[in-house]
Structure formats: structure tokens, C-alpha cells
Amino acid sequence: MDLKTRLLDDIKTAMKAKQADRVATLRLVAAAMKQKEVDERISLDDAGVLGILEKMLKQRKESIALYQQGGRSDLVNKEQAEVDIISRYLPQALSETEIDQIISGAITASGAVGIKDMGKVMAQVKPQLAGRADMGVVSGKIKAKLT
């Protein structure tokens, strides 16, 4: 079963179980998927759905940081619950050594020698690490290795 179908089936299951918070979060994800499909006139595959999930997860984490600064623990708890729900659909995160190995392999394969070749390396690692690592951290690691 692909990720999109699994998400839509989970909405129905959560509705039957009367899990209002879970239904609301999954409907937000479904709406974002539908919006992207309509805007770009495509049918999302698992990679596209993962991209949407990562974006939504990043937004939630940024909101949590802002709410913590503002002392709004009620909103922090709500956002954290959404993070927990969305995270269940992402693949298991890679360890630091696995990420380093993938980066080293991509640097070797692309023949990158300096920071100007960072785009080539990122193009190779992104499909392998999508949804499994924070791309901001990966970018920093690549930059460190290329300088």
C-alpha cells in the first residue's frame, strides 16, 4: 500500500474511532496533498507525499519553538501532538554514521572537490535521505566535508 492510500485509510479509521485530533491532523495532510496535486496537475507518489510530510513537520517544529518563547504551553502541546502523528508516516531516521557514509559516497561518485560542487552532491544524496534525515544538517555536513 502506498503512503497516500495509507494516510487516507487512516483518516477513515480515526473517524470511526472518534479520534478528533488525529482526524484533524490527517485531514490537514490530505488537504496539502490534494492542493499540490491540483496546483501541479500531478498524482503524488510516495516521494511527493514524503516531501509534504517533511514540510509540515518542519513548520510544526518551528511553531513549537515560537510558542515556547511566548510561553504558550497549550499550543506547544497541540503542535507536538501533530508532530507525533505526522512522524509516524516518515521512514525511520538514519544514524549519523549512515548519513556520513552516504555523503562520502556521493562526494566520491560526483567527483566533488570544492564547495562549488555542493549542488552535485546534494542532488545525489537528497533522494536517498529524503524523509530519513534533516536536510539542513545534511547540507552542513556536506559543506564541512567540501571545505
Residue range 92-125, pLDDT digits in tens: 888 899 999 999 999 999 888 889 989 999 999 9
The pLDDT-based confidence of 135 (bands split at 50, 70, 90) is confident
Q: CA–CA separation, 112 vs 118, rounded Å? A: 7
What fold, for 3-87? Hypothetical Protein Yqey; Chain: A; domain1 (1.10.1510)
Q: Residue 59: is its pLDDT beyond 90?
A: yes
* CATH of region 96-146: 1.10.10.410
Q: What is the pLDDT of residues 13-23, one digit of tens each?
A: 999 999 999 99
Do the two domains 3-87 and 96-146 of this chain adopt the same fold? no
SS3 letters across the chain: CCHHHHHHHHHHHHHHCCCHHHHHHHHHHHHHHHHHHHHHCCCCCHHHHHHHHHHHHHHHHHHHHHHHHCCCHHHHHHHHHHHHHHHCCCCCCCCHHHHHHHHHHHHHHHCCCCHHHHHHHHHHHHHHHCCCCCHHHHHHHHHHHHC
The pLDDT-based confidence of 134 (bands split at 50, 70, 90) is confident
pLDDT of residue 113: 86
Provide mean pLDDT across the span 76-97.
Answer: 93
Q: What is the pTM of this model?
A: 0.78
Listed by start position, the domains of the chain span: 3-87, 96-146
